[in-house]
Amino acid sequence: MLPLVPLLIILGSSFIYELSSRWDRRGAIAAIAVLLAAVPALSMSLRINSPDVDPRNVVPPIVAASGARVVFDRYSDYQLSRTILGLLSRPTKDVADIVVTSNLAYDRFDFSVPRKGSNSAKRAAYYRELSSRPHLDVSNGRPTLAYFNPVVRIVALDGSVARLEKIAADIRTAAPGLTVRLIDSAPNSKE
């Protein structure tokens, strides 16, 4: 999040100065080691931070315009004016038709480890239950790292696959570069 380019330029200049002032076998080995480490790191940084469409810019307005009662979690939307999924209260189908969350929230929980009693266990159970309902996964195809490139999940609490298909079509129209997958947990699954 900090502007690293000035710092990297200063450190790179200092590194080149030190190598040129002490050019010997250890300096050459150090230069090769730094290059071998820097090239993959730069490649990964470019893959993660490329200027692709962020699903959080496209998905929330489309879902909000769908006419459904929608609740967002704090990692799926940049707008704080929309209804945000609370840390303690979890909406049910009586309160909302759709919950929009992201892997930045539900990947925090290991669903294979059963835990009982704690708040973490209750949250994990909630996200496990959400994942069992029909939902859309929307991604820009880039790897998720820190706060970048989340997979936004649109869950139909009311089970309406038709509404999800309409939202998916709208997302594909608005941002053809996004990957949209419908996961229908019903017996006649459409994955």
| Domain layout of the chain by residue ranges | 5-48, 55-183
Beta bridge partners of 182: 136
Handedness of CA 118, 126, 108, 113 (dihedral sign): positive
pTM: 0.68
pLDDT tens, position by position, 87-114 = 556 777 778 899 998 888 877 776 566 5
189 Cβ neighbours under 8 A, 6+ residues apart: 183
Residues of the chain with pLDDT > 90: what percent?
Answer: 23
Residues 6+ apart with CB under 8 A from 186: 134, 159, 161
Q: For residue 143, what are the contacts with CB-CB under 8 A and spacing of at least 6?
A: 44, 47, 48, 149
Tell me the sheet residues that pair with 153. Answer: 101, 137
pLDDT at 138: 94
